[in-house]
Amino acid sequence: MTDTLSQRQVDVRDIQPRQRHPLIFSTFESLAPGAAMELINDHDPKPLYYQFAAELEGQFGWDYLERGPDVWRVAITRLARGHATGQCCGTCGG
């Protein structure tokens, strides 16, 4: 995993499959609202998208940067909780 100014890169291609999702979710949870991580994988992470949608509905953005056939790259952004669902969280005054 490498850090840049506003984005973390998580390359899971060489990580054991059972360790991938916990690493991805812990990295996502460490992001500040508005920050993004770049996931690099050896297959389409669509099942991961569905897991994010089930567990973190309205709290993330998902944008494919590259779609195979050998490498998939996805930008996953952490959204502000209240604003992501159309409700004010009460902390920003907005």
Domain CATH number, residue 45 = 3.30.110.40
Q: Which helix (H) or strand (E) holds 67?
A: strand 60-67
Q: Which domain covers residue 76, as residue numbers? A: 2-84
Which among 55, 59, 15 is positioned nearest to 39, based on CA atoms? 15
Is 6 a residue whose pLDDT tops 70? no
Measured in degrees and rounded to the nearest 5, phi and psi for residue 46 equal -55, -40
Q: Is residue 91 part of a domain?
A: no
Q: Is residue 89 part of a domain?
A: no
Is 37 a residue whose pLDDT tops 60? yes
Domain count, the chain: 1
User: The pTM is what?
Assistant: 0.80
Is 83 a residue whose pLDDT tops 60? no
Residue holding tokens 């953005």?
Answer: 61
Q: Is residue 47 part of a domain?
A: yes
Q: Is residue 94 part of a domain?
A: no
Q: Is residue 76 part of a domain?
A: yes
